[in-house]
């Protein structure tokens, strides 16, 4: 039987308590990483592509909820599916976990074979979601990249910011003056041909229909495009 190659990470201050489960999971999944402290675990998560991340709710000094919030706010797409586990099963705890952005909450004392099936189903679901996201536009603000259907397009900085402005406000028309103030902080830019040139270049990258223009209203991103 071939092992699954997806990367699965566990962060647990009492990692010795789940060794048996990890040993059994290692027979099903090729790449399982376990960390008994938050610093090393988060360092790995922040610098490697992760498929599933298991967090003990009672981690210290930060608990699983706090770490989940941190990851969901910082980690770029695609971020891992986050599963928080605990012996605590009351409704308040589960509500707190899901409100933090976690994808699932479980009792880790499930039998290893049941946990293995659970992970297989999560990975199958993750692949479906990832495939769906390939049809969306994803923006990387640090590198000025726009991903369309998984393919990266790198824009010059100003054109990226114009595109980002329209992308973050779907359905809204922006006049040239509004764009000039938002991007250049100078409404006089609207009187020049600079914005027209940027729109032309964006359309050259992604196709003429990506930007819609209407006389008297300005420009907006074509929602049908993504």
**Mean per-residue pLDDT for 24-46?**
87
**pLDDT value for 26:** 83
**pLDDT value for 47:** 82
Each residue of 169-217: pLDDT tens digit? 888 999 999 999 999 999 999 999 999 999 998 888 888 888 999 988 9
Residues 6+ apart with CB under 8 A from 98: 105
**Mean per-residue pLDDT for 3-7?**
70
* Portion of the chain with pLDDT greater than 70, in percent: 86
**pLDDT value for 175:** 94
Q: Measured between alpha carbons, how far is 182 from 109 in angstroms, rounded to an integer?
A: 53
Phi (first) and psi of residue 62, to 5 degrees: -90, 140
Each residue of 82-140: pLDDT tens digit? 999 988 878 888 888 888 888 888 877 667 788 888 888 888 766 655 554 555 677 87
**pLDDT value for 127:** 60
Which fold would CATH assign to domain 137-225?
A: Arc Repressor Mutant, subunit A (1.10.10)
**Domain ranges (residues) in the chain:** 4-133, 137-225
**pLDDT value for 180:** 94
Domains 4-133 and 137-225 belong to one CATH topology: no
Of 2 and 117, more confident: 117
Three-class DSSP category at 94: helix
**pLDDT value for 110:** 63
Give one DSSP letter per residue of 187-225, joined into a string.
Answer: GGGGGSSHHHHHHHHHHHHH-GGGEEEETTTEEEE-GGG
- Residue 150: is its pLDDT beyond 80? no
Q: Which CATH number fits domain 4-133: 3.10.310.10, 3.40.50.410, 1.20.1300.10, 3.40.50.2300?
A: 3.40.50.2300
Mean pLDDT (the chain) is: 82
- Residue 55: is its pLDDT beyond 90? yes
Q: Measured between alpha carbons, how far is 64 from 38 in angstroms, rounded to an integer?
A: 10
Of 31 and 224, more confident: 31
**Mean per-residue pLDDT for 131-154?**
68
**pLDDT value for 116:** 84
- Residue 226: is its pLDDT beyond 70? no
């Amino acid at each position: 039987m071939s092992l699954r190659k997806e990367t699965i990470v566990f962060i647990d201050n009492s990692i010795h308590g789940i060794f048996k489960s990890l040993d059994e999971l290692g027979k099903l999944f090729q790449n399982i990483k376990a960390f008994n402290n938050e610093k090393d675990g988060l360092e790995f998560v922040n610098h490697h592509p992760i498929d599933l991340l298991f967090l003990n709710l009672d981690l210290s000094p930060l608990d699983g909820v706090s770490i989940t919030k941190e990851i969901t706010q910082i980690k770029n797409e695609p971020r891992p599916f986050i599963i928080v586990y605990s012996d605590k099963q009351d409704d308040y705890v589960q509500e707190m976990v899901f409100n933090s952005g976690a994808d699932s909450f479980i009792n880790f004392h499930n039998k290893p074979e049941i946990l293995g099936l659970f992970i297989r189903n999560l990975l199958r679901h993750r692949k479906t979601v990832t495939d769906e996201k390939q049809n969306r536009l994803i923006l990387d603000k640090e590198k000025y990249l726009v991903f369309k259907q998984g393919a990266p397009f790198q824009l010059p900085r100003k054109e990226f910011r114009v595109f980002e402005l329209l992308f973050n406000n779907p359905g809204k028309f922006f006049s040239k003056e509004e764009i000039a103030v938002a991007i250049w902080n100078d409404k006089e830019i609207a009187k020049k041909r600079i914005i027209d040139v940027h729109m032309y270049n964006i359309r050259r990258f992604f196709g003429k229909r990506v930007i819609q223009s209407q006389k008297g209203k300005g420009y907006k991103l074509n929602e049908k495009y993504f």
